[in-house]
A and B are shown apart, each in its own frame.
Chain A
Amino acid sequence: AQSVTQLDSQVPVFEEAPVELRCNYSSSVSVYLFWYVQYPNQGLQLLLKYLSGSTLVKGINGFEAEFNKSQTSFHLRKPSVHISDTAEYFCAVSEAMGGGADGLTFGKGTHLIIQP
């Protein structure tokens, strides 16, 4: 079984400042990693994913994340945030050999608050 820990439940950041949302995972097997964003009253939108290859992954809306296997982390970063980035961000893992049938395991989420 896997677990995901998002270390901050809430992150306030000033507009145009950089931000890092932290995610650590625990698993006895290889995993795939994902970041999703949820805007109020909406479903989840995939920001980026790591399946294999380069450990630095670029996603939509200027976000990127780096997979660190030794530290079992997959932190999300953006160099300059905008008001429109205010949302809930979820880190998720899936067992690499499971075909995805066992679903995604999500962290509790981080609420990113952009201050003008």
Chain B
Amino acid sequence: KAGVTQTPRYLIKTRGQQVTLSCSPISGHRSVSWYQQTPGQGLQFLFEYFSETQRNKGNFPGRFSGRQFSNSRSEMNVSTLELGDSALYLCASSPGTVSYEQYFGPGTRLTVT
């Protein structure tokens, strides 16, 4: 089976712009979670989707949003980018209705200038 894929792998944006990141889960996986990884804060949970519904969201401002499509693919959007949004954004997918066992993609490296 193909693993979790994320596009694009690298992205450079300017402050104030918005960005959309894409994640395709492992075939058959219905749960998708997003994480932000920075040197200072480490890995932090952004949100989790199952069957097109957001089940939980981490402690991030409303500028961070996401959605999941009927084929389980997911996108996350960050509006009004700030320098502090520079990070590695990781997507993970899980089989079944529970999300304990998460399989991560390679991430999208976002740089905000």
Contact = CB atoms under 8 A, between A and B. Distances in A.
B33 interface: yes
A103 B42 contact: no
Contact of A46 (B44, B56, B103): B103
Contact of A99 (B98, B101, B105): B98
Given A43-B90, A104-B45, A108-B42, A32 B100 contact: yes
Interface size range of chain B in the complex: 20 to 34
B106 A42 contact: yes
Interface of B: 4, 31, 33, 35, 42-48, 50, 55-56, 58, 90, 92, 94, 97-107
A72 interface: no
18 contacts: A34-B100, A42-B107, A43-B90, A43-B107, A44-B92, A49-B100, A49-B101, A99-B98, A100-B48, A100-B94, A101-B55, A101-B99, A103-B35, A103-B45, A103-B48, A103-B56, A103-B58, A109-B43
Contact of A101 (B44, B48, B105, B106): B48
